Amino acid sequence: MVDVLNRMDPPSEPCLYRLDAHDAFVFVNTQWLMFARANQPPETAQQSLVGSSLWDFIRDRETSHIYRLLLQRIRATRGRITIPFHADTANQVREMEMELIPFAEGLVQLRSTLVSLRDRGDEPEGRHADPSELLILCSWCSNICTGEGKWADIEVGIRELDLFSMRTLPQLTHGICPSCRDIYLKGLPEGNDI
């Protein structure tokens, strides 16, 4: 996935940061700072990162939308979420795992750890989405369509479609899942097709 937050180097130590209820950084660990220094002007220090917005680091619309949904969900359910992703290089396949943990007052901790590391060999690099490929989200509940007639919540959907291993995400579009169709369109008088 094209996302600076997932491009840590080296990945041997967990990269950890915490966001406040408004998605501003309130804490970043040394590993994160090493990454930031390698990718940003040298004057970038913890002080300048703390207080800045997560959204300054995620540029593309699709990734940003998925992260917003994940954060929304974790703050609403207060349950942990674990998402697999890749932080590959040209020569190495690096399987990572990102754990999102909710705390009080909208604070969320995101911690990424290395799960496995291997030489790429002949293994192809993560794929780019096809231009015609669409990622369908339910407008009502934000579930993801994972296949013909199949829907899953955001966490399961990301896993099933292996979205965070992709170098670019498919274009987002919205629809309605069968459960929401039943709930929201049931009460409408006959003949009202939506």
Q: Contact positions toward Zn ion, by CB under 5 A? A: 138, 140-141, 143, 177, 180
Beta-sheet pairing, 25-28 with 108-119: unpaired
**Element of type H or E holding 19:** strand 15-19
Least distance CB 147 / Zn ion (angstroms): 15
Nearest residue (CB) to Zn ion, 74 versus 137? 137
Cβ closest to Zn ion, residue 100 vs residue 138: 138
Q: Least distance in Å: CB of 12 to Zn ion? A: 40
* Shortest Å distance, C-beta 182 to Zn ion: 10
CA dihedral sign, ordered 51, 53, 56, 58: positive
> Which lies closer to Zn ion via its Cβ, residue 33 or residue 141?
141
Identity of the amino acid at 69: L
Smallest gap, in angstroms, from Cβ of residue 165 to Zn ion?
A: 25
Q: Which is nearer to Zn ion, 11 or 157 (CB)?
A: 157
Instruction: Give me the sheet containing 171-175, strands edge to edge.
Output: 150-152, 144-147, 134-138, 171-175
Contacts of 187 (CB under 8 A, 6+ apart): none
